[in-house]
Amino acid sequence: MIKNKQRELISLLVSCQNTYKSSAKLAAELSLSDRTVRTYLKDLKSLIEKNGGVIVSKQGYGYQLEIKDRTAFNLFLIEHHFLEHKDEQANIREVSERKHYILNLLLLECQKIDVEVLSEQLFISTSQLNKDILEIKNQLQPFELTLKKNKSLIYVDGAEKAKRHFIMSYFFHEESTNFLQRLTSFNKFSDAISFDTLTIIIIDECRESQIKLSDVMMQNIVLHLSLTIKRLQLGLSIQNLNMPESTKNTLEYQVAKKIMDRVESVIGFHFPKEEQMYLTLHLMSKSNFIQQDLDSELSLSVNDLLITIQKETGYLFLKDDQLKQGLIQHLKPMIVRLEQNIKLENPLLDEIKSNNPELFALVKRYFSQLANLRKFAINDDEWGYLTLHFLASMEKLRNDQKAKVLIICATGMGSALLLKNRVESEFDERVKIVATRGYYEIGPEMLSEIDFIISSVDLSSKVFKVPVFHVSVFLTEDDVQKIRHYLSSRNMFICACKDPLSALPTLKSDDYLHHIEQVVDDLVAGNFCRCRKSQTKQQVLDHLLELLSVNETEHYKKEMIQQMQNRMVLGEIFFSSAIVVPHPAMPVGKLSKMGVAIIPDGLYWDDCYPKVYFIFIISPSIYQNPNLAMMTKAVVNLIDDLEMQNSLLKCQNFAEFKSLFIKLIEKGV
């Protein structure tokens, strides 16, 4: 049994492998004594060596982990649960996202958390998690909330009113990039009730009844209810809703009634019973009443669609996790509506189609390919509801790309507000004012995330790392032109200039070459073949899958075949007439791998692709896939490089293939 601190030590060595660290530095990072770290290293030595690694010690330098057998070592990490099989984990390892996730658990889902358990789930050290929790504690303090511990469990303590205040401020306000707030700039849904009031009512009733909703789920409920009010105001009622009588006995039905009773007291008119039943359906789907395997299936399908949209149009929707989650939570009740032929008219449809025809057409074109929707005849009202999510994402992308500005004035608040209002009036679509400060309030922490400074005070005696515009407090036409000229020189695009999936580690040249050599060896070395005689498509695929099956479960090959067939239903796997890239709709293997077949004489795939020369089977891991994007980008680089294709076809063995394939990887950097 590996102790928790030993696990942290292994994780630390893995994160800085091939780099020496002294026992003192390791001890400091793990909050242990130097002697304890040396004892742990001695204890772990034989275990690491049995599983493909070695802990090397060098006097005057310290210790480092060297991995001799990557496959064996990865299997060791999997066996001892250093890698967690959870799709959502990849999205919560960055500090800000991790803190957001923890606050979701503590406040929206009202959970108590165990630091030891959560640190293992998130694959981070307990010391790092404790740092996050300390920062969360400081965030809660101004709201008169604190974190308390009961045995090993941490929870939020404080008045319910204070908790609600924090939830509204953190999860549902402008600075949280809440898509509902962005949608209000697109269209005023209803003057009858504000988004804030609706959000408070839903938070209150769901928390009191212990229905656990994430912030994205909560936002979708608010959006649904807002559109319901707008729809009813226009005389558009729901049709053909057919739910079992037993639904009235559920907790969700009772909560829906309480929510609607409170909303009715504000808006002054009554909801039909069908609307209460329909809100119940939303609460059921968003509180995980609808089966979890549908979530997983939709997640993979939506992700594939967003990748296709980004590849073909350049829009960076793939980066927007909130969009992905919002679409999944929207699609679940939408599928129920379509199955039951429930008609739900869209009060914003005409405006959506009139103001955003290209985006509406894009959503309709790509989402009609979604496997879960293909069998239905879908009307424009439904496509309009889906388009709203993309409109919100577009607005978010625009806001993210606004230049972040700090305004500096003398001590007078009146002049500061005057300049702030003038800047907003002139540049609202191009800049985001981060703060307005007096001359003596400038601190280094304010300057870390801004793009430039607009100041009515002469700052020429100070040195800043960002541009400074000295302007009149009235912001003259000359001032406006100076700032406008600077903004025009900035590259501010919603479309991708470079594929974000191709991000590579920043390493020194020698280290980088060693890194990509290691990656190609790990993923392809045992899974490469050159077809020296005529073979059928099935024979080549069967051979590659046999190679990929090494160190996998006995059902790996069968599951891969099924998942590859599922993926072909979703879209093309041909990169060109010569290159085919089969891959599973869902990950199957324990380890990331790529099977490669080079066929110099060509292979008959089907009538549309009679001469395929390259087959790359991508087999992602169910755990982590840090280097697959780099490999697939290299395959993309091969498409138009006919000279490289000819060179690869002449390769006689893996070593020759590897040297050429590395050039394709470097080409994408």
Contacts of 28 (CB under 8 A, 6+ apart): none
> Strand 146-150 vs strand 153-157: parallel, antiparallel, or unpaired?
antiparallel
Torsion, CA 439, CA 440, CA 441, CA 445, rounded to 10: 90
Distance CA(595)–CA(612), nearest Å, equals 15
Range 228-239 average pLDDT = 79
- Which architecture, in CATH terms, is 4-80? Orthogonal Bundle (1.10)
Task: State the CB neighbour count (10 A cutoff) for residue 463.
Answer: 7
**Per-residue pLDDT at 125 exceeds 80:** no
Range 80-108 average pLDDT = 65
Residue 151 gets the label, from left (phi > 0), alpha (psi -120 to 50) or beta, of: left
The closest alpha carbon to 68, from 98, 48, 90, belongs to 48
Distance CA(301)–CA(303), nearest Å, equals 5
- Which architecture, in CATH terms, is 292-399? Orthogonal Bundle (1.10)
Q: Which CATH number fits domain 510-667: 3.40.50.1370, 3.40.930.10, 3.90.1150.10, 3.40.50.12780?
A: 3.40.930.10
* CATH 1.10.1790 domain position(s) in the chain: 179-285, 292-399
Range of lowest pLDDT (131-135, 265-269, 490-494): 490-494
Look at 271 and 120; give whichever has higher pLDDT: 271
Q: Tell me, what's the pLDDT at 499?
A: 36
Residue 113, phi then psi, degrees to nearest 5? -115, 145
Q: Is the dihedral of CA 137, 142, 145, 148 positive or negative?
A: positive
Distance CA(19)–CA(25), nearest Å, equals 12
In contact, 143 and 103? CB cutoff 8 Å: no
- pLDDT category of residue 658 using cuts at 50, 70 and 90: very high
Range 439-466 average pLDDT = 72
402-489 sits in which CATH class?
alpha beta
* CATH 3.40.930.10 domain position(s) in the chain: 510-667
Full 3-state SS string of 101-151: HHHHHHHHCCCCEEHHHHHHHHCCCHHHHHHHHHHHHHHHHHHCCEEEEEC
Distance CA(447)–CA(431), nearest Å, equals 16
Distance CA(67)–CA(427), nearest Å, equals 54
Structure-token pair, residue 426: 């002139």
Q: Tell me, what's the pLDDT at 495?
A: 45
Structure-token pair, residue 479: 């001032």
Q: Kindly report, residue by residue over 356-373, the tens digit of the pLDDT.
A: 888 899 999 999 988 889
CA 358 to centroid of chain Cα atoms? 25
Mean pLDDT for the chain? 80
**Per-residue pLDDT at 188 exceeds 60:** no
* CATH 1.10.10.10 domain position(s) in the chain: 4-80
Residue 177 gets the label, from left (phi > 0), alpha (psi -120 to 50) or beta, of: left
Q: Tell me, what's the pLDDT at 440?
A: 60
Counting residues of the chain whose pLDDT is more than 90, the rounded percentage is 21
* CATH 3.40.50.2300 domain position(s) in the chain: 402-489
Out of 102-116, 227-241, 576-590, 645-659, the most confident range is: 645-659
Distance CA(595)–CA(542), nearest Å, equals 11
CA 109 to centroid of chain Cα atoms? 20
Q: At what angle do helices 509-524 and 654-667 cross, to 10 degrees?
A: 130
The closest alpha carbon to 125, from 1, 3, 12, 33, belongs to 12
Helix (H) or strand (E) holding 37: helix 34-50
In 496-563, DSSP assigns E strands to: 528-530
Q: Which CATH number fits domain 179-285: 2.60.40, 1.10.1790, 1.10.3210, 2.40.50?
A: 1.10.1790
Range 579-606 average pLDDT = 89
Sequential DSSP letters for 51-99:
TTEEEEEETTTEEEEEES-HHHHHHHHHHTTSS---GGGGGS-SHHHHH
> Strand 593-603 vs strand 612-619: parallel, antiparallel, or unpaired?
antiparallel
Helix (H) or strand (E) holding 223: helix 215-233
In contact, 104 and 167? CB cutoff 8 Å: no
- Stated pTM of the model: 0.46
Contacts of 159 (CB under 8 A, 6+ apart): 144
Q: Tell me, what's the pLDDT at 438?
A: 73
Q: Is the dihedral of CA 455, 461, 462, 465 positive or negative?
A: positive
Range of lowest pLDDT (383-387, 411-415, 575-579, 628-632): 411-415
95-158 sits in which CATH class?
mainly alpha
Q: At what angle do helices 273-286 and 215-233 cross, to 10 degrees?
A: 160
The closest alpha carbon to 205, from 281, 280, 102, belongs to 280
Which 8-state DSSP code applies to residue 612?
E
Which 8-state DSSP code applies to residue 272?
P
In contact, 89 and 121? CB cutoff 8 Å: yes
- pLDDT category of residue 148 using cuts at 50, 70 and 90: very high
Task: State the CB neighbour count (10 A cutoff) for residue 110.
Answer: 16
Q: Tell me, what's the pLDDT at 262?
A: 93
- Specify the amino acid at residue 598: I
Residue 359, phi then psi, degrees to nearest 5? -70, -40
In 205-258, DSSP assigns E strands to: none
**Per-residue pLDDT at 186 exceeds 70:** no
Range 622-631 average pLDDT = 77
Distance CA(655)–CA(245), nearest Å, equals 67
Residue 210 gets the label, from left (phi > 0), alpha (psi -120 to 50) or beta, of: left
Give me the count of residues in the chain: 669
Q: Tell me, what's the pLDDT at 505?
A: 39
Out of 67-71, 211-215, 269-273, 428-432, the most confident range is: 269-273
